[in-house]
Structure 1
Amino acid sequence: MKTPAIIVATALLSQAAFADGHEDRTGWPESFTVATASQGGTYFAYGSGWANLVAEELGISGGGEVTGGPGQNMALVHTGDAQFGMTTMGPAAEAIAGESPIAPGLQMTNACAMFPMYQTPFSVTTLASSGITAISEIPEGARIGFGPAGSTSDTYFPRMMDTLGVNYERRNGSWSDLGGQLQDGLLDVIAFAAGVPVPAVSQLEVQTDVNIIEFTAEEQATIMEAFPVAAYAIAESTYSTLEADARSVSMWNFAIANCDLPNSFVKAVVDIIMSDNERMMNIHKAARTTVPENWDKNAGVIAWHPGAAEWFIENAGADIPADQIHSK
């Protein structure tokens, strides 16, 4: 039975775009989990932030969970072990096709698109004391940290380094751990694939001098030809170390929902995230692209959750074909 306070809150919230969703909570879970990635990375900060925002707004217990990143998140959301998660388009496409290294042969088609997040730039960080200022200067057998095993960074960055002719010793770990190892001289390079600013890099900047290494135009073109990425520039304002925009490549990220979640629940969550970008920017600066008009960055890779599709069609004029919306 609702208390008077909850009844008042519900009445006030009925003015929002997802009013119907709040009035009918049939089948809504009592709590939810957002699958993120390792601590020290953007996924954890961004995902935990929006999980807390949604929990507060809807009056439901919820929070972020540390995971191995996009590939594992697809599996957790597909099976329903996590209600929500975040993924990058490359690992998502592999998972849906049954080609994920997490579970080869399993087509993870019960993870649905919910809302666009941001682009993940691929960038390289070293200590200034290393003297490394370019990809071509990375020494033979350099110890490179590629992030958590199975993450987007670990899946694609080693292949990119191979393509660019870099010979390295591969290391894995959480971004915060790798940042500490770089500072302690246990690593030579960290190859980040994460929304910017990456918390671990920002922390390193405070504690020591670093080099943030950009791709050359030729290296960028080579990577774009070989991998599902687009050209990207890390803005000078992102890090105090940068003196100009840094040339990079990027891959889009989307929030995902278990396809069996009630339409009204997912629609309510999407409205909270997409209707106030300033709140999202307060969670993480990468959220500047978490805006309705970027719905098309899904590009048909992940089937839309019906509740999310309904919100974007009604509020963003999205032209989402019926065959790209999950059918329950």
Structure 2
Amino acid sequence: MTVLTRITAVAATTVMTATVAFADGHVDRTGWPDSFTVGTGSQGGTYFGYGSGWAGIVSDVLGVNGGAEVTGGPMQNMALVHTGDLAFGMTTMGPAAESIGGGNPIAPGLQMDNACAMFPMYQTPFSVTALASSGIKSIADIPAGAAIGFGPAGSTSDTYFPRMMEELGVDFDRRNGGWSDLGGQLQDGLLDVIAFAAGVPVPAVSQLEVQTDINIIEFTEEEQAKIIAAFPVAAFDIAATAYTTLEAPARSVSMWNFAIANCDLPETFIYEVVDAVMSDNERMVTAHRAAQSSLPEFWDRNTVMAWHPGAARWFTENAGAEISADMIHGDM
């Protein structure tokens, strides 16, 4: 698991000089932090690229210094945002549900319910990549004892993909690491397969297909149905345009990702953060193509986390969201 240098907790963050809300539209910045950090994932993964993008947009629009931090991914982000070590993070529905229920391996038994939903990001497809020279063209082709890279320890991929492979009867040797490192290991012949759970296009895969011939392996209809029945995922097709290797959509499954915020951050701050991201999708897509799904109408894809009050207000006022009181932090 990635070791993250502890940063100043949100509660101890130096705040900007408080201002007053005026009728002419000035925003009340009482309690706003003077900087923020977004917990992402490993370099070479979609989380880092996407998180760096929206951190930059928010920083530019709001005039608050912000940036992205490499972390171990969704599970660690839930822990860091819950404790206030990070203001923001990114997670998927599965790890979020497990963390809220006390099942996060970083702190077993701790109910991480102080990490609030902020806005929908994109769906994470689960996909398998192998070198074309390996001859692996399907899940059934993966040899017994194959070395499979599942991403950073505690990531969505590492949490769910090994279980999925076991469900499909694959015998494997489990490996962990950052996506860029695993891509290099695959290219060097140290891994047989990489099992990716990341928004497409995954930078590590895009880099691989420029450097060598690869196979992006789709699930059969039967394999897809079996996984959907066993895990909190939905059917998904990876578009043929995502990678030059693909000639047709690749059958997969996916899990939704959401941006999260420490629940104690000021409502006005979170409202403006959400507004900066959700009000200009074109700019977000320029930052990362996965943001094509970062649209207000997907607010209802959050089914497990309490909403931050500032985010709930934005989606209610601007997206016609009907969020029940028991799904808003502080009203529960």
When the two structures are superposed, what TM-score results if normalisation uses the length of structure 1?
A: 0.93
Higher helix share: 1
Amino acid at match of 1:39: Q
Quick one: distance in 2 between partners of 1:190 and 1:284?
Answer: 22
Answering whether residue 120 of structure 2 is matched by residue 120 of structure 1, we say no
Answering whether residue 43 of structure 2 is matched by residue 39 of structure 1, we say yes
Quick one: distance in 1 between partners of 2:43 and 2:324?
Answer: 37
Quick one: distance in 2 between partners of 1:54 and 1:131?
Answer: 45
Quick one: distance in 1 between partners of 2:28 and 2:167?
Answer: 53
Aligned to 1:149: 153
Aligned to 2:190: 186
Task: Note the alpha carbon deviations across 1:59-95, whole angstroms, 9 max, x for none.
Answer: 1111000000000000000000000000000000000
Q: Secondary structure of the equivalent of 1:243?
A: coil
Answering whether residue 289 of structure 2 is matched by residue 285 of structure 1, we say yes
Task: Note the alpha carbon deviations across 1:134-174, whole angstroms, 9 max, x for none.
Answer: 00000111110000001000000000000100011110000
Identity %: 76
Deviates more, 1:49-58 or 1:264-273: 49-58
Task: Note the alpha carbon deviations across 1:190-234, whole angstroms, 9 max, x for none.
Answer: 000000000000000110000000000000000001100000000
The counterpart of 1:315, out of the listed 314, 318, 321, is 318
- Provide the aligned C-alpha RMSD in A: 1.4
Aligned to 2:274: 270
Quick one: distance in 1 between partners of 2:106 and 2:123?
Answer: 23
Aligned counterparts, 1:18-167, within 5 A = 22-167=26-171
In structure 1, stretches of 5+ residues that fail to align are 1-9
Quick one: distance in 1 between partners of 2:103 and 2:264?
Answer: 23
Quick one: distance in 2 between partners of 1:139 and 1:99?
Answer: 32
Aligned to 2:309: 306
Deviation at 1:52, TM superposition (A): 1.1
Quick one: distance in 2 between partners of 1:286 and 1:62?
Answer: 21
Amino acid at match of 1:98: G
Q: Secondary structure of the equivalent of 1:55?
A: helix
Quick one: distance in 1 between partners of 2:53 and 2:241?
Answer: 22
Quick one: distance in 1 between partners of 2:122 and 2:242?
Answer: 14
In structure 2, stretches of 5+ residues that fail to align are 1-18
Quick one: distance in 2 between partners of 1:165 and 1:226?
Answer: 13
Amino acid at match of 2:183: G
Q: Secondary structure of the equivalent of 1:82?
A: coil
Deviation at 1:58, TM superposition (A): 1.1
Structure 1 segments (4+ residues) deviating >3 Å? none
Deviation at 1:288, TM superposition (A): 0.6
Tell me the matched-pair count. 311
Deviation at 1:259, TM superposition (A): 0.3
Quick one: distance in 2 between partners of 1:323 and 1:126?
Answer: 45
Quick one: distance in 2 between partners of 1:288 and 1:306?
Answer: 25
The answer to whether the 8 A contact 2:38-2:87 is kept is yes
Quick one: distance in 2 between partners of 1:55 and 1:133?
Answer: 44
Aligned to 1:255: 259
